[in-house]
Chains A and B, each alone.
Chain A
Amino acid sequence: IVVALFDKNVQNNEEHNLAVESTIGNSSYQHSKINQWMSGIVESSLSQLTKLGKPFKYIVTCIILQKNGAGLHTASSCFWDNSTDGSCTVRWENKTIYCIVSVFGLAI
């Protein structure tokens, strides 16, 4: 897995820039590797975020879904401080996999 970063800036009143770039690349869905991939994605996103050194708590969630025609719907609702907190969601896919990563940043 190559983990790439999307940049999104956030600091207090500014918008939070989150860098998350994750390449599962040309891999096909493989049940045995999923756990590794997910841990890799989530942990590297989190460490890139904490490296930014901003006064935030972070929550990173990742969903990986095999493409076989099933319907998937997700929703999030947040109770926080609109002026300082924010989130971003990245949707990624290849031939056999959908991957959705969400990051929530909460100001300390």
Chain B
Amino acid sequence: MEEFHSGDEVSFSPDEGSNVVKECIEGIIGGVDYSQNKVNQWTASIVQHTLTQLVKQGKPFKYIVNCAVMQKSGAGLHTANSCYWDTTTDGSCTVRWENRTMYCVVSVFAVAIAL
């Protein structure tokens, strides 16, 4: 049985975050091809669903979830993030996913709340 010391700070676990994100992406755009009509719905669902799952974990964090979906057409896409925060408690994770017709990049940032 794990001991929990209530005075300890909780830090964000990128692996757990990645798992939550991967499940959400698979569930929403798992087997479908890029469709311009639907892509707005997809990005909105992915971020909302991911956020809900993260908040359900009940940890003392504020979250920002960012999702980009791009059609595969040979264009170059680059993304970068820079964060000014408390490195002992805050963290982020980024998941890159693709299928035959599109790329999806989801980033989650978790910032600890001072209790």
Contacts and interface: CB of A to CB of B under 8 A. Distances in A.
B54 A79 contact: yes
Most buried by B among A50, A73, A76: A73
Contacts of B67: 74-76
B64 interface: yes
Interface residues of A, number: 44
A19 interface: no
Nearest to A107: B62
B77 interface: yes
Nearest to B112: A57
Contact of A57 (B55, B77, B79, B84): B84
A61 B80 contact: yes
A50 B78 contact: no
10 contacts: A38-B79, A42-B81, A58-B85, A59-B82, A62-B80, A65-B70, A65-B77, A75-B40, A75-B46, A76-B64
Interface of A: 29, 31, 34-35, 38-39, 41-43, 45-46, 49-50, 57-81, 85, 87, 102, 104, 106, 108
